[in-house]
Amino acid sequence: MERQFSGGCSCGAVRFEVRGEPLRTGLCHCTTCRKETGSVHNVFAVWPRSQFTASGEWREWEGRSFCTVCGSSLFALRDDEAEVKLGSLDDAPTGLTPNYELWIKRREHWLRPLAGIAQYTEDRIRS
């Protein structure tokens, strides 16, 4: 049986669903993710775009989608992939575990690296 994850924004105006296992799951400490989440990092999972569906009205800013009503950060859609913010999923814990950390040069000194996963100084493509 194929796994399914559903999620949405705080007010319920945007809903989405992803099917199957993610391609990868990560944790990012970059400045953009920090600003977007209002936290010291962003945890996300990436699925093939064909496994993602959404309803409601959202807007994009620099490729990142958010609810037009409550402002919740939700996902980033590309032609081939859908990156979903794990905090926007309905059920917690999700059972998903990051398999890499990005932009560790921006990680707060009081946060420890996640054991046993890949660590990238910047982006995983450029590090």
In a domain, 61, yes or no: yes
In a domain, 127, yes or no: no
Taking alpha carbons only, the member of 22, 27, 28, 12 closest to residue 88 is: 12
Q: pLDDT by residue (tens digit) across 51-90?
A: 999 999 999 999 999 999 999 999 999 999 999 999 999 9
* Domain residue limits at 57: 4-119
- Read off the tokens for 77: 């859609």
Residues 81 and 69: their CA atoms lie apart, in Å, by 25
The pTM is what? Answer: 0.93
> Given pLDDT bands bounded at 50, 70 and 90, which one contains residue 31?
very high
In a domain, 124, yes or no: no
In a domain, 126, yes or no: no
In a domain, 115, yes or no: yes
CATH number of 43's domain: 3.90.1590.10
